[in-house]
Structure 1
Amino acid sequence: MFSITKLGQPVKIPISLSGTFAELRSDHFHGGIDIKGTVGTPVYAVEDGFLYKLESKGTGYGNVIYIKHKNGYMSIYGHLSAFNTPFEEHYYKEAKKYKKSNFSVYFKKDEILVKKGDIIGEIGNTGFSFGPHLHYEIRDLKHNKQVNPLFFSVNVKDCSPPEWTALKLIYVDENRVSRSERFVQLNKNEYFKVDTLDLLVGKSALAAQVFDGMEGNNNRNGVYQLKMYVDGKLHFHFLAGKIDLEESKYANALIDYKENKLSKDIFYRCYRLPGNNLKSFKHLQNDGYFNVKYGKITNIDVEALDYAGNYSRKRIAIRGIKGYLPSLPFHNKYVYRNVDNQLKTYFIEVNIPKGAVYQNIPFMYREINERRRETFSRIHSVHNDNEPLHKDIFLSIRSGIIPDYLREKAFISGCNQQGKYINYGGKWRKNFLEGQVDKFGEFSIMIDTIPPTIKDLSLVGRGKKGILQFHLSDNVDLPDQMDYPFFKVTLNGQWIRMRSDSKSGIISGHLPVDLKKGKYEIKITSWDKMKNINHYTKLFTVWK
């Protein structure tokens, strides 16, 4: 393991965090810490090692550097505005060879050595980032884990305790399905609070909305530790120390997924769903569930801690009462987490494999009685997207009448949170289009014959200061986080490197520094997954 005394700082500015390790993010735990900064602030290698990978994308970590160190550790520096000059030259050489702008370049062991304290890049806002910062991450390659970088003596000043916003009391049935919920709003200025609340007799659980703040920082970061005590005994303990890379999707089981979908609020479940095999639970009594008894008072204490040792605590008292259990919403059947499940009608087959859901769920399927001009099948509502999936499920949808020449343009379509169609692909089996999807929701067969749109081309200056910029978009998205639609840019037939920004759809890049007097043609080619292609050409003249 790294010697803490020898591990350097990734930046030489006062460190304030806009994101903490193992925060609950969409479909994953945050794998590092986010250090606030301004674009152009130098970033330093934290230890001796060798360059393992350079990557430049419009999504994910954007411009990112991977450095391998001794003893099987790797440090990662993401969302950079630029690599240092030697790294940039190596990257450009390989990208030009393969004529790819969004590209990953790998290096052999000790091919390019890095010394502790070397400037390797600059803070930026590239990739899936919404403000300038450095994503700093440490991985234990031997055990395939992301490790909290604060273990390695990052200089963070933090005197603020975590702040509580709300608690949610949840009554569950014999399948541990939520049947009723009660919200408890908390006053963050009160250190300790006692309330007596009525709750139905039986098995219950608790979810907590709590975040970690820092001085001079309005970000609501994730907490380092979360504990729950029932009548003075530890019942639940989560610690954000290490996350197995293969377990990151269990974030969907630790977060109250439905609440987050509906309100965007983040609640930690202080209990373990049956299919949540995360190893970051340090203690679980009865999986975090507790029994509420008639007429008796149960005291619940919750405690949150940050890495600096600041903590805050809340208490509620629960009294058991008798009452009527709310009925379950309409459902066709139960889907069980520990077996393969299948639903079959004349128009669709749905296969939900073992381990795809985190608990047994009352499953709802229906056909949507609506005709949409762009669909070539019936529209199928497969449960709802408020329920998370840990594995892909498999769909086979019967098509309507599709001409033979359009069958290669057909795909299984879903819909994202912004209301845009998603291309899940698919393969034909007679009149059925088969594929797999990573979420519940509405699905149908669609045809895509529309090429990507290229617009707003601008050309400013030439040489080192010459910048080419245009906007690229497509009518359909892909489910994976990747640069899309695909593109290639040439100048008089020669490839030139461009950078993409998935947030804005803007593609930009510098013209070659050695442009001479003469006429030039810029050609942009863009294509989508269904091989619909668009070309855009612009002529310009260099006069001197």
Structure 2
Amino acid sequence: MKKLSFIISMLVLPLTTIQAQDIIKHRQFPQNYFRRPMDIAPQASGSFGELRATHFHGGDDYRTQQKINIPVYAVADGFVSRIRVQIGGGGNSVYLDHPNGYTSVYLHLESFNEELNALIKVEQYKQQRFDVDVFLKPGQFTLKKGQLLAHSGNTGGSAGPHLHFEIRDTKQQLPFNTQLFGLTFPDETKPIIRGLTVYDLADPIFDENTPRRHQTVKALANGNYSLTVNTPISVNGKFGLGINTVDRRKGVSFTYGVYSIELFLDNKKISTVLFESIPFDKTRAIHSYIDYPYWKKSKVRVQKSFKQPGNPIEIYENLDNNGIMELKDDQLHQVRYVVKDVQGNTTEINFEVKRDANYTVRNTPSSSGKSFNYLMDNVYQAENAKITIPKNTLYDNLNFTYSETEGPVNAYSQLHRIHNIFTPVFGSYSLSIRPNEKLSAALFSKALLVSKDGGSQGGKYENGLVTATVRSFGDFYIAVDTVAPTITARNLVNNKNVAAQRQIDFTISDNLSGIQSFNAYIDGAWVLMQYDSKNRHLWHTFESNLKGGKHSFKLEVKDWKDNVRVYEASFTR
């Protein structure tokens, strides 16, 4: 009974903050339960929580030394709950549910083990498509710890051969920092601090006009840091701080994300950011977590220690007054940043701030425009455009601006400036643009919205407008896509004898709207084509049941505006 009471008490124990291994955690993670996914020396090319262009990295990237086909093993007993073949994204991936309530996830695989390969191919032929997402029942396909699961690769959105590995809470599909489970990488190196930024926050709206004072730093003999000019920083009114920091490991050139960033004012904790777990539906909020306007201008990521009111991210372990500070006296005040990696290697920087009534905040008020509230639906109606922004799409209140100018020579509308590129949005909004007289009825079905840099936003003509769902502000206009995708055969010509070939290869591309689908047929029967969008490579591996003799081959490739290209050839095998 005592043992049962102890188990029950552990189950209902609130998620209080615990100090273990000199890092902050909100739960106990099982140790020695999971093995490493590969039997090679563990080296990382990416870490959990690392700052990426559009998201926080949700796992650890294991290096495979520029090789593919490294065996990948089940990290613990479990059953395969999901297999996915994706164009872009995670490529070939496997989800393995474990009895302890966690799921291990393996992405960018070259192939699955023999049984899973067969299972996924049956599903691809059943659905007659390359990209499939298959959910399996518990016990349908079980694996023991250390049993071969797959082989590493470079599929999907991978920028080079590696294994992306995650451990998630099974019920919530919430990813955790995998090193918290004991699957650590060799690391005795402290994080590094590259700079600090002081933000004068007299204007409650944070944007590109917010005054920024970037501070240079220098490393000290003990591995910690100080300001290069070690004099008190003058402030006057509300202010916030940001830090440019990354983690490093000995012997490699990669930079990694840190685990925690703590900010103290006179030993009072103002802000703690913790990369223990990051919900997938909040990961795009990285654009509000960092100083997005400064990143757009400089490609330098400053991690703000204060939070915009519309930022839904849940990585703050504590946050006093949203991280915004204001000094009420003229005394010197001590500021301290403490930065740790997941193994507890710690870096600090200490400096002073002081209120100075003579310091003038050089504040440039936000441009005049229509006032948008981030908590409300917002609509802007112009003569030739309509913008509809749902509530909770903006990170902050916004003085929204709009203008219209002459479009490019290939445009079928004016050029519409939707606010500016320095203001990020969390979700999507609806943008409708009225075409000019160049857009004839014959082109209605081919019309779409594009950004000024030529990137397709998709869209559909309806009721005199072309409407698309977009995820950024900037300059947009209407274009048309009447050009079919291109197909280039790499190793097939008409009437070729392909007896010596395992597969036939093609390069496919599209000029604007992008590839929507591809379908191939041998002697009129659908056959599987595999696709790597990174290098536009499309190929078919001949099935073992293909009989010898002459065969007909047909490939159809369609873009998102239903323009179709067909390639046909005969071959002998």
TM-score normalised by L of structure 2:
0.87
1:241 aligns with 2:272: no
Which structure shows the higher strand fraction?
A: 1
Q: What is the deviation of 1:293?
A: 6.3
- Letter of the aligned partner of 1:113 in structure 2? T
Aligned equivalent of 2:39 = 12
- Letter of the aligned partner of 1:36 in structure 2? R
Q: What is the deviation of 1:237?
A: 0.3
SS of the residue 1:389 aligns to: coil
Are the counterparts in 1 of residues 97 and 170 from structure 2 also a CA contact under 8 Å?
no
d(CA) in 1 for partners of 2:570 and 2:202?
69
SS of the residue 2:326 aligns to: strand
Aligned equivalent of 1:475 = 511
- Letter of the aligned partner of 1:158 in structure 2? D
Q: What is the deviation of 1:188?
A: 4.5
Are the counterparts in 2 of residues 253 and 273 from structure 1 also a CA contact under 8 Å?
yes
Judged with a 3 Å threshold, the aligned counterparts in structure 2 of structure 1 residues 467 and 296 are, in CA distance, closer, same or farther, namely: farther
Q: What is the deviation of 1:169?
A: 1.4
Aligned equivalent of 1:355 = 392
d(CA) in 2 for partners of 1:80 and 1:391?
30
Q: Report percent identity of matched pairs.
A: 28
Structure 2 residue corresponding to 1:447, chosen from 467, 475, 480: 480
1:96 aligns with 2:125: yes
d(CA) in 2 for partners of 1:427 and 1:70?
51
Structure 2 residue corresponding to 1:335, chosen from 372, 376, 384: 372
- Letter of the aligned partner of 1:115 in structure 2? K
Q: What is the deviation of 1:456?
A: 4.7
Where in structure 2 are the equivalents of 1:190-209 lying within 5 Å? 191-194=224-227, 195-196=230-231, 198-209=233-244
Aligned equivalent of 1:523 = 554
- Letter of the aligned partner of 2:396 in structure 1? Q
SS of the residue 1:93 aligns to: helix
Structure 1 residue corresponding to 2:106, chosen from 77, 93, 99: 77
Q: CA RMSD in A?
A: 2.4
d(CA) in 1 for partners of 2:431 and 2:400?
15
Judged with a 3 Å threshold, the aligned counterparts in structure 2 of structure 1 residues 219 and 5 are, in CA distance, closer, same or farther, namely: same
SS of the residue 1:444 aligns to: strand
Deviations 1:31-69 (A, max 9, x none): 111111131211111122211222222300111111122
Q: What is the deviation of 1:251?
A: 2.0
- Letter of the aligned partner of 1:409 in structure 2? K
Judged with a 3 Å threshold, the aligned counterparts in structure 2 of structure 1 residues 175 and 3 are, in CA distance, closer, same or farther, namely: closer
Are the counterparts in 1 of residues 154 and 160 from structure 2 also a CA contact under 8 Å?
yes
d(CA) in 1 for partners of 2:529 and 2:396?
45
Structure 1 residue corresponding to 2:502, chosen from 446, 466, 471: 466
d(CA) in 2 for partners of 1:502 and 1:387?
30
Aligned equivalent of 2:251 = 216
SS of the residue 1:28 aligns to: coil
SS of the residue 1:217 aligns to: coil
Q: Which runs of 5+ in 1 are unaligned?
A: 479-483
Asked which structure has the greater RCO (Cα within 8 Å, sep 6+), the reply is 1
Judged with a 3 Å threshold, the aligned counterparts in structure 2 of structure 1 residues 124 and 188 are, in CA distance, closer, same or farther, namely: farther
Deviations 1:79-107 (A, max 9, x none): 11111111111111111122211222222
Identify which range, 152-161 or 311-320, moves more after superposition. 311-320
Deviations 1:250-295 (A, max 9, x none): 2222122222222222221111111123222111112111125686
Identify which range, 63-72 or 113-122, moves more after superposition. 63-72
Aligned equivalent of 1:26 = 53
Aligned equivalent of 1:66 = 95
Judged with a 3 Å threshold, the aligned counterparts in structure 2 of structure 1 residues 509 and 312 are, in CA distance, closer, same or farther, namely: farther
Identify which range, 142-151 or 463-472, moves more after superposition. 463-472
Q: What is the deviation of 1:236?
A: 0.7
Where in structure 2 are the equivalents of 1:479-518 lying within 5 Å? 484-518=515-549
Judged with a 3 Å threshold, the aligned counterparts in structure 2 of structure 1 residues 458 and 188 are, in CA distance, closer, same or farther, namely: farther
Deviations 1:303-335 (A, max 9, x none): 110111101111233343422523236442332
d(CA) in 1 for partners of 2:132 and 2:158?
18
d(CA) in 2 for partners of 1:345 and 1:517?
65
TM-score normalised by L of structure 1:
0.91
d(CA) in 2 for partners of 1:140 and 1:40?
28
d(CA) in 2 for partners of 1:293 and 1:476?
57
Aligned equivalent of 2:170 = 141
Aligned equivalent of 1:403 = 440
1:291 aligns with 2:318: no
Where in structure 2 are the equivalents of 1:161-176 lying within 5 Å? 161-176=190-205
Deviations 1:494-519 (A, max 9, x none): 33323222222222342234555433
- Letter of the aligned partner of 1:531 in structure 2? D
SS of the residue 2:123 aligns to: helix
d(CA) in 1 for partners of 2:131 and 2:179?
31
SS of the residue 2:225 aligns to: coil
1:392 aligns with 2:421: no
Aligned equivalent of 1:160 = 189
Identify which range, 73-82 or 192-201, moves more after superposition. 192-201
Aligned equivalent of 1:270 = 305
Judged with a 3 Å threshold, the aligned counterparts in structure 2 of structure 1 residues 329 and 335 are, in CA distance, closer, same or farther, namely: same
Identify which range, 188-197 or 260-269, moves more after superposition. 188-197
Aligned equivalent of 1:481 = none
Are the counterparts in 1 of residues 449 and 478 from structure 2 also a CA contact under 8 Å?
yes
